[in-house]
Amino acid sequence: MSTPTVAPKTNGIVIAVVKEQARGEQRVATVPEVVQTLTKSGYEVLVEHDAGAGAFYSDDLYVAAGAKIAPGRTELLDGATIVLCVQPPTIADVEMLAEGTIVIGFMNAANNLPTVARMRDRKVTAFALELVPRITRAQSMDALSSQATAGGYAAAILGADNCPKFLPMLTTAAGTIRPATVLILGAGVAGLMAIATAKRLGAMVEAYDVRRAAGEQVRSLGAKFLELEINAEDQDGYARELTSEEKVKEQQMVSAALARADIVITTASIPGRKAPVLITKETVAQMRPGAVIIDLAAESGGNCELTQSEKTVEEHGVTIVGPQNLPARVAIHASQMYAKNVQSFLSLLLSKDGALTREFTDEILASSLLVNAGEVRHKPTLDLISGGRL
């Protein structure tokens, strides 16, 4: 193993980086480039052995950036001031954390209530990156967006890989090939990246979203926006659930577009709710044989009725893919972007002189604070925990 060229003075704050344990998780919460900045500023960075292996960042690279390697989880978490992760900690992890330890990562609280309750009981502080408000000042910390960008890109590549056609138009001695048609349902961050990627691959791209504002963004990427006389944008800029009448209109329009698509990428979701069904069983039967559906909403119930999470199924000659954790497929860049998000977030907690604030009054810190000092601070999670009497 190489040794760091400089041994900077530390300020007593230990930042620990876990090796992700969730199945298929290849990402890591920080990368050597960010570690170097932290160690140069006087923080001690402790990285769990092989934490970066899934994203091809070796222990040696972290050591060269000034980190120390912890052989296992116990050595990593013992004495950590701040713990960085991508996926939520497990209950076993929480048991090893001292009171006041700060954990930063995606917390997916609604699906991890027992862990949240344990963090409350052990007086751990947890910041959920998915709760960072989408205000201009927090753009560099928006891990939901950076990871949706990675997911949208990976979805378009997965669609192309499963499609038995070329995507671009080809004029060859063996004849002219028409470009494939790609349909994107849901033009948020992931959808827009999928559009841009499919366009670069040479496909004809159509897209639809219930937020009319998405139309301009879709058109600016050179794709066709399918208009429906609905604008279901709420005051926070997110989609609201459609009325039953609106759903019927939507399905009629979507069905017509589906019948001419070779690849469909669905990303439609409504925060905190089950994903809306945009593709029924009957519609799948009307699609072109050989067509492909990549359902990014698979983890929240699926936008297609026939999607099975984590599986690829074929129905009526249509391949339906329900991927889990697409950002992990581009783990190097997804980790790099996530690490930058975390670094920006840390700058709110750590002052230039290396002091750690425990005053979480900043709007971004206050909004993303899930648990602190024995209390669940995020109201929707608190309601779920109180309802379940945890």
Ligand X SMILES: NC(=O)c1ccc[n+]([C@@H]2O[C@H](COP(=O)([O-])OP(=O)(O)OC[C@H]3O[C@@H](n4cnc5c(N)ncnc54)[C@H](O)[C@@H]3O)[C@@H](O)[C@H]2O)c1
Q: Under 8 Å CB-to-CB from 161, ≥6 apart: which residues?
A: none
Scan for tokens 């700060």, then name that residue: 102
Q: Is the Cβ of residue 177 or residue 253 nearer to ligand X in the bound state?
A: 253
Q: Is 238 known to be catalytic? A: yes
Q: How many residues bind ligand X (CB under 6 A)?
A: 29
Residue 215 engages ligand X in binding (rule: CB under 6 A):
no
Q: Is 57 known to be catalytic? A: no
Q: Is the Cβ of residue 319 or residue 341 nearer to ligand X in the bound state?
A: 341
Residue 212 engages ligand X in binding (rule: CB under 6 A):
no
- Give least dist CB 303 to ligand X, A: 8
Q: Is the Cβ of residue 89 or residue 276 nearer to ligand X in the bound state?
A: 276
Residue 271 engages ligand X in binding (rule: CB under 6 A):
yes
Q: Under 8 Å CB-to-CB from 142, ≥6 apart: which residues?
A: 132, 134, 341
Stretch that binds ligand X, among 18-26, 60-68, 104-112, 186-194 (CB under 6 A): 186-194
Residue 186 engages ligand X in binding (rule: CB under 6 A):
yes
For residue 7, what are the CA distances in angstroms to 40, 42, 44, 315, 355? 9, 10, 10, 60, 20
Residues 123-152 that bind ligand X (CB under 6 A): 134, 139, 142, 144-145, 148
Distance CA 299, CA 322 (A): 8
What is the side-by-side order of every strand in the sheet holding 68-70? 68-70, 44-48, 14-17, 82-84, 102-105, 125-128, 369-372, 375-376
Residue 189 engages ligand X in binding (rule: CB under 6 A):
yes
Q: Per the structure block, which two tokens stand in for 242?
A: 């459609």
DSSP code per residue over 133-181: ---GGGGGG-HHHHHHHHHHHHHHHHHHHH-SS-SS-EEETTEEEPPPE
Residue 195 engages ligand X in binding (rule: CB under 6 A):
no
- Give least dist CB 230 to ligand X, A: 9
Catalytic residue (one of 21, 41, 122, 134):
134
Residue 104 engages ligand X in binding (rule: CB under 6 A):
no
Q: Which residues share a beta bridge with 47?
A: 17, 69
Residue 306 engages ligand X in binding (rule: CB under 6 A):
no
Stretch that binds ligand X, among 5-13, 80-88, 167-175, 269-277 (CB under 6 A): 269-277
Distance CA 133, CA 3 (A): 39
Residue 269 engages ligand X in binding (rule: CB under 6 A):
yes
Residue 320 engages ligand X in binding (rule: CB under 6 A):
no
Judged by CB under 6 A, the residue of 267, 319, 325, 381 near ligand X is 267
Residue 209 engages ligand X in binding (rule: CB under 6 A):
yes
| Phi then psi dihedrals of residue 361, to 5 deg | -90, -25
CB 176 within 8 A of CB 279: no
Q: Is 87 known to be catalytic? A: no
- Give least dist CB 233 to ligand X, A: 7
Q: Is 139 known to be catalytic? A: yes
Residue 211 engages ligand X in binding (rule: CB under 6 A):
yes
Closest Cα to residue 339, out of 90, 132, 75, 38?
Answer: 38
Residue 184 engages ligand X in binding (rule: CB under 6 A):
no
Q: Is 93 known to be catalytic? A: no
Long-range Cβ contact pairs of 347-355 (< 8 A, separation 24 or more): 349/82, 349/102, 350/13, 350/41, 350/43, 354/11, 354/13, 354/41, 354/42, 354/43
Scan for tokens 């890591």, then name that residue: 28
Residue 20 engages ligand X in binding (rule: CB under 6 A):
no
CB 79 within 8 A of CB 10: no
H helix runs in the chain, sequence order? 32-40, 59-64, 73-77, 91-95, 113-121, 143-162, 189-200, 214-220, 244-259, 281-285, 331-349, 363-368, 379-387
- Give least dist CB 245 to ligand X, A: 13
Catalytic residue (one of 145, 146, 344, 368):
145
3-state secondary structure of 338: helix
Judged by CB under 6 A, the residue of 151, 276, 302, 322 near ligand X is 276
Stretch that binds ligand X, among 5-13, 17-25, 189-197, 373-381 (CB under 6 A): 189-197
Stretch that binds ligand X, among 14-22, 121-129, 263-271, 318-326 (CB under 6 A): 263-271
Q: Is the Cβ of residue 206 or residue 209 nearer to ligand X in the bound state?
A: 209
State the residues that interact with ligand X by CB under 6 A.
Answer: 134, 139, 142, 144-145, 148, 185-191, 208-211, 214, 237-239, 242, 267-271, 276, 278
Positions marked catalytic: 134, 139, 142, 145, 238
